[in-house]
């Protein structure tokens, strides 16, 4: 396994791999890897000849006042996880390597980015789309693997790839949860024992929504109200949003129909956690 810190070295490796006819698989991450990332890495290991994992806490996708500085980092751990899972190349540049002091070009998805997390985190998806476009241009993957926990991010990346004609297949894998149902996230690190218990409310609310839908509930408002009740029972929980939308367009509607994304963001203490499910509603 090689650890690469510069764009020039990374491009050199990509050129060599391409001229050997190798396909590249990429798993872009912010590091602090958990079993969710491992599931992406394992999939990517089978999907490409050369497996690249990027570890980059991208300053551009953190808004002012967010947790960029204290976002958890542990390179030693990340390297050992990658080594154990057959990663060929870790791309681990410094922010100064990725962004010139006079960097001024951004990739902006202007429709899907407007709702859900895009409302609470203005500029976040601009940062995501820009860094992902850069990584795709540097690493030229045939396939890139993302997690469904970041449902909106996955949709936006697919849109960017389509709209800018980037030649890469985007694979989105199911959210990995701990035994209690909590979606794995590097930000779970922020939770103390009580908060970790309270954090289960995200999954509980989504599970309730799923039950309501399968028992015939079609009123968006009623679903959201009952989800809110579940979350508001928890002392350290504060709802950022609960949204019920079309799973492709992210348009909201009063009535649940078709393929529906139920997504939420909840502050548990200082940690802002997100989770979602997609439910398919059969026409009567």
Task: Please state, in angstroms and rounded to a whole number, the distance separating the CA atoms of residues 167 and 161.
Answer: 7
Cβ count near 102 (within 10 Å): 5
CB of 32 to a second copy, least distance (A): 24
- Given candidates 164, 211, 233, 254, which one binds a second copy under the rule CB under 8 A? 164
Task: Please state, in angstroms and rounded to a whole number, the distance separating the CA atoms of residues 159 and 118.
Answer: 15
Q: Which is nearer to a second copy, 161 or 183 (CB)?
A: 161
Q: Is 103 considered catalytic here? A: no
Does residue 251 interact with a second copy by CB under 8 A?
no
Does residue 196 interact with a second copy by CB under 8 A?
no
Q: Which is nearer to a second copy, 178 or 248 (CB)?
A: 248
Cβ count near 113 (within 10 Å): 26
Kind and range of the H or E run holding 240: strand 237-246
Interface with a second copy in residues 7-26 (CB under 8 A): 7, 11
The residues facing 273 across adjacent strands are 266
Beta-strand relationship, 50-55 and 24-29: parallel
Task: Please state, in angstroms and rounded to a whole number, the distance separating the CA atoms of residues 14 and 23.
Answer: 10
Does residue 106 interact with a second copy by CB under 8 A?
yes
DSSP one-letter string for 194-224:
HHHHHTHHHHHHHHHHHHHHHTT--BHHHHH
How many chain residues are in contact with a second copy, going by CB under 8 A?
29
Catalytic residue among 34, 37, 251, 280: 37
- Given candidates 69, 76, 165, 193, which one binds a second copy under the rule CB under 8 A? 165
Name the one range near a second copy by CB under 8 A: 37-45, 146-154, 162-170, 224-232: 162-170
Q: Which is nearer to a second copy, 58 or 185 (CB)?
A: 58
- Given candidates 167, 179, 215, 282, which one binds a second copy under the rule CB under 8 A? 167
Q: Which is nearer to a second copy, 60 or 223 (CB)?
A: 60
What is the side-by-side order of every strand in the sheet holding 143-147?
2-4, 89-91, 50-55, 24-29, 143-147, 169-173
Does residue 96 interact with a second copy by CB under 8 A?
no
Closest of 254, 243, 250, 246 to residue 281, by C-alpha: 246
Integer-rounded Cα Rg, in Å, for the chain is 19
Does residue 162 interact with a second copy by CB under 8 A?
yes
Interface with a second copy in residues 231-250 (CB under 8 A): 249
Does residue 160 interact with a second copy by CB under 8 A?
yes
Does residue 252 interact with a second copy by CB under 8 A?
no
**Residue positions annotated with a catalytic role:** 37
For a second copy, the binding residues (CB under 8 A) are 7, 11, 100, 102-112, 129-130, 133-134, 137-138, 159-160, 162-167, 249
């Amino acid at each position: 396994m090689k650890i690469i810190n510069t764009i020039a070295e990374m491009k050199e490796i990509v050129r060599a791999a391409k001229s050997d006819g190798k396909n590249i698989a990429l798993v872009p991450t912010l590091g602090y890897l958990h079993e969710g990332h491992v599931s992406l890495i394992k999939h990517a290991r089978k999907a490409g000849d050369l497996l690249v994992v990027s570890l980059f806490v991208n300053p551009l996708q953190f808004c002012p006042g967010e947790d960029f500085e204290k976002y958890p980092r542990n390179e030693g751990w990340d390297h050992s996880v990658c080594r154990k899972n057959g990663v060929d190349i870790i791309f681990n540049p410094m922010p100064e390597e990725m962004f010139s002091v006079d960097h001024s070009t951004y990739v902006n998805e202007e429709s899907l980015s407007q709702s859900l997390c895009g409302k609470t985190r203005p500029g976040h998806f601009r940062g995501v789309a820009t860094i992902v476009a850069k990584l795709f241009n540097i690493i030229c993957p045939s396939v890139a693997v993302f997690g469904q926990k970041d449902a909106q991010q996955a949709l936006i990346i697919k849109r960017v790839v389509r709209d800018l004609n980037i030649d890469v297949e985007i694979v989105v894998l199911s959210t990995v949860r701990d035994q209690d149902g909590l979606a794995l996230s590097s930000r779970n690190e922020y939770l103390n024992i009580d908060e970790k218990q309270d954090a289960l409310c995200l999954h509980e609310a989504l599970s309730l929504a799923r039950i309501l839908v399968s028992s015939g509930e079609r009123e968006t408002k009623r679903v959201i109200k009952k989800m809110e009740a579940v979350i508001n029972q928890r002392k350290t929980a504060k709802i950022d949003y609960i949204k019920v939308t079309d799973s492709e367009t992210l348009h909201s509607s009063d009535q649940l129909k078709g393929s529906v994304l139920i997504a939420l963001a909840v502050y548990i203490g200082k940690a802002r956690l997100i989770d979602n499910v997609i439910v398919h509603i059969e026409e009567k």
